[in-house]
């Protein structure tokens, strides 16, 4: 299927420190492009792949599962590792979930994590019906463009494909079980008001992760914070984080 205009993956060539950006479920690289441009302007090499099933039409996403999304992210990470001295992984929502999985499985290679409204669980009894519901109902109303800033829009599907969402819940369980394996220093951004991801996600991460982790609360943004009022805080904070961790590595 042809790509939606603006959903294209992107790469910005820069210096020896690389950043892998990973977008969220039903979204596209469009939601992270301004972030990538800011990091590239700071001298970093930046890559943001388009995850399988995204950026075309929502039924395509129902044909994919979490190993497909993880495989694409890992492939991009491996390629970055081949050309950069150190690689940081940053993601929004499910993209942050995939970033965590990379850090769990390749702890000696991920230099640091920046997580924006990561999803690893949902406290909703309706999830109990999902294994059956996904076979009789293709999708729910979408979760896209949860943005407080007037005029800002996320390029994402207007439906949530249930087979894909059910697969994401399987990834959540794996990630939660292995959080103790993450060793990379982590910067966590959480929106004070998020209509997609509940606050319990950040609370679980802070309680289970044993690596150095700092949480920053975004007071003026909803879920898609990379396109919202606090975007500059994310962009500047993540660049400062990379420079701080990289300097620590060099000094140590």
Catalytic residues: 93, 194, 223
Pseudo-torsion of CA 46, 210, 240, 33, nearest 10°? 30
Residue 203: φ, ψ to 5°: -60, -40
Distance between terminal CA atoms of the chain? 49
Alpha helical stretches, state H, 87-158: 94-105, 130-136
| Residue among 199, 196, 190 nearest 220 (CA) | 190
β-pair partners for 113: 89, 186
CA 177 to chain CA centroid, nearest Å = 18
């Amino acid at each position: 299927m042809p790509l939606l205009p603006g959903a294209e993956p992107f790469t910005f060539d820069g210096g020896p420190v690389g950043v892998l950006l990973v977008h969220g479920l039903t979204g596209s690289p469009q939601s992270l492009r301004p972030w990538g441009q800011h990091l590239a302007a700071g001298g970093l090499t930046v890559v943001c792949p388009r995850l399988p099933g995204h950026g075309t039409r929502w039924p395509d996403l129902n044909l994919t599962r979490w190993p497909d999304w993880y495989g694409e992210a890992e492939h991009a990470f491996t390629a970055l590792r081949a050309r950069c001295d150190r690689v940081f992984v940053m993601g929004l929502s499910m993209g942050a979930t995939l970033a965590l999985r990379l850090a769990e499985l390749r702890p000696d290679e991920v230099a640091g994590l920046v997580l924006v409204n990561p999803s690893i669980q949902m406290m909703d009894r309706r999830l109990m019906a999902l294994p059956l519901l996904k076979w009789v109902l293709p999708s729910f109303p979408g979760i896209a463009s949860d943005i407080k800033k007037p005029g800002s829009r996320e390029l994402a599907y207007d439906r949530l494909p249930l087979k894909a969402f059910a697969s994401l819940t399987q990834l959540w369980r794996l990630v939660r079980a292995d959080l103790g394996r993450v060793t990379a220093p982590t910067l966590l951004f959480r929106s004070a008001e998020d209509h997609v991801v509940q606050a319990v996600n950040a609370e679980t991460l802070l309680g289970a992760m044993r690596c150095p982790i700092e949480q920053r609360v975004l007071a003026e943004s909803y879920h898609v914070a990379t396109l919202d009022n606090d975007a500059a805080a994310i962009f500047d904070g993540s660049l400062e984080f990379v420079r701080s961790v990289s300097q620590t590595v060099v000094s140590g």
